[in-house]
A and B are shown apart, each in its own frame.
Chain A
């Protein structure tokens, strides 16, 4: 009853093609955005903002990027962290070396650097697919981290390759509190996520999905393989790059190339698998899940520890966390291989009929 599109008539093509065709969806999205922009900054404390919400948004952005490539265009990638690194170091170098470089432009340029690197490593995708491609993207992962560590021009000749981000200022307003950083991250993420949502339902998104479902068939019906695949790599890497820049500027402040290792790539891959492959919403759900899970495990373990009156050694704790994390991933894959986004879809269908059974 609550979630029912009955009575919502579409009288023009414009209303038929709008991004959220159902009124309840529009209300929900507007409410969520308002919540994120107004209520959250008012209630959330420093810890929530800088340890949970900001990384959640950044990872969600990276996951959206990977989802474009893997979920929509069907090209499995294990090199997301490398593209994030390119974005982070790119943006940092632009701010460092170009006087008066506006921050957001630097972010975008960092993203474009990542996109270019993405195109280079996406080239093999024209010949290979599946796991062969996944291993090829590993080449990007290892090569980029190596290059950033080895050639310390990228980190302005700091001995360890570590960079500390500059002070952030846009139009004279300094972004130095967690709240301000949250606003900046949120704005970038919302804009890019909306762009992605629109992209995947435009002709290019349909071309990606055609290639994902069967590339030979797609080529036969006239979709340019080279352009479409490379565009997927470029846009996905752009998203990852911007996410990387935000990761460096708004979340950590100090990053080193080694921080963008394979583990991070896997983490983002987990996000889209658990959230839902081929779903923008799923990227957010998955990111939330992966960010919250370790925190949740910790909060559960502490009282449990006190309750049982034993103090676990920290090594044991981290191993248990590893086991639970891996176990949960397997569990989720078994019970819901299509991810959290699918659960949400099922909920929507139930809501449509509720409170009637049929």
Chain B
């Protein structure tokens, strides 16, 4: 039984990591209806920039600040150059534009910093916490736990930002109804710029954690694909949905790999979340927390 819980907790904690990436998607989708496929590339770019700056002699704090600046500028630029000319286009066009964007960012990142795999040391060891192991016999990674803590902090921070600040309220207004928001004098493009900047910030956090976990390499961009089932389970428009979805996907994926995997030859982690998401969709087409759409003729 303790093995089951160990797998479950490991899954839940890795699910938090998925949530971090999914969060970036949700932010942008909620505010502008853009399904931002480039979020994975942003994660990759952020991690690579941070590591690259550190290699050039910046200390961690300075590198972090500089990367944050770069990500925010990048977010603003994306909004200005790519998305503003595409306002009012169908969603699929915007989606395609972000796929093109992901190519540009990936190419640019590797052009700038090179393509070799780098390690990223955050000062948190990926080792089991002794106290928990001695009391319950379960291995819970210190790193995973810290990652979960950081994610919780981030979500709380975002929630406060959205509910307590003027900009946050404007963001929610835009998310609810673009035209109504415009009508009451909320500058739409400014808001979108801010959303993209925030998404860049979230990508930075995700990039640091994922980079420390798996090494900073091109495979980081595939993290975005892991986040998609999370989005489906949780719903595209919901921040709590991204968290809950991440937990469900993370836990079920690990459990499936351990208990179901051996029967079919293993390696099911790659597609299991998607099939899980499909099953969810059959019962809740908008995900757990997504907005219900009523179709009118």
Contact = CB atoms under 8 A, between A and B. Distances in A.
Which secondary structure dominates chain A's binding surface?
A: helix
Residue from the set B99, B286, B295 with the largest chain A CB neighbour count within 10 Å: B99
Interface stretch (B103-111, B123-131, B152-160): B103-111
B277 A139 contact: yes
B100 interface: yes
Interface string A204-218: 000000000011110
B107 A322 contact: yes
A136 B286 CA distance: 13
Interface in A295-328: 315-316, 319-323, 325-328
B85 interface: yes
B89 interface: yes
Nearest to B103: A326
Contacts of A215: 295
A161 to B, nearest CB: 12
Contacts, number: 132
Interface stretch (A231-239, A247-255, A330-338): A330-338
Contacts of B275: 139, 143
Interface residues of A, number: 45
Contact-size category for B: 35 or more
Contacts of B219: none
A236 to B, nearest CB: 16
Contacts of B108: 319, 323
B99 A138 contact: no
B274 interface: yes
Contacts of B104: 322-323, 326-327, 330
A193 to B, nearest CB: 23
Given A150-B267, A330-B101, A273 B281 contact: no
B232 interface: yes
Given A273-B96, A330-B82, A334-B85, A124 B278 contact: yes
Contact of A330 (B100, B115, B270, B285): B100
A127 B278 CA distance: 10
B150 interface: no
A51 interface: no
Given A124-B282, A326-B104, A329-B100, A130 B115 contact: no
Given A277-B92, A326-B102, A216 B236 contact: no
Interface of B: 35, 82, 85-86, 89-93, 95-97, 99-108, 110-111, 114-115, 225, 228-229, 231-232, 236, 264-265, 267-268, 270-271, 274-275, 277-278, 281-282, 285-287, 295-297
Interface of A: 70, 76, 124, 127-128, 130-132, 134-136, 138-139, 142-143, 146, 150-151, 214-217, 220, 262, 266, 269-270, 273, 277, 315-316, 319-323, 325-330, 333-334, 337
23 contacts: A127-B285, A130-B91, A135-B231, A135-B232, A139-B274, A142-B274, A146-B268, A151-B265, A266-B99, A269-B96, A273-B93, A316-B111, A320-B107, A321-B107, A326-B100, A326-B101, A326-B103, A326-B105, A329-B103, A330-B97, A334-B82, A334-B85, A337-B86
8 smallest CB-CB distances across A and B, nearest first, come from A326-B103, A322-B107, A329-B100, A139-B274, A326-B104, A142-B271, A323-B107, A326-B100
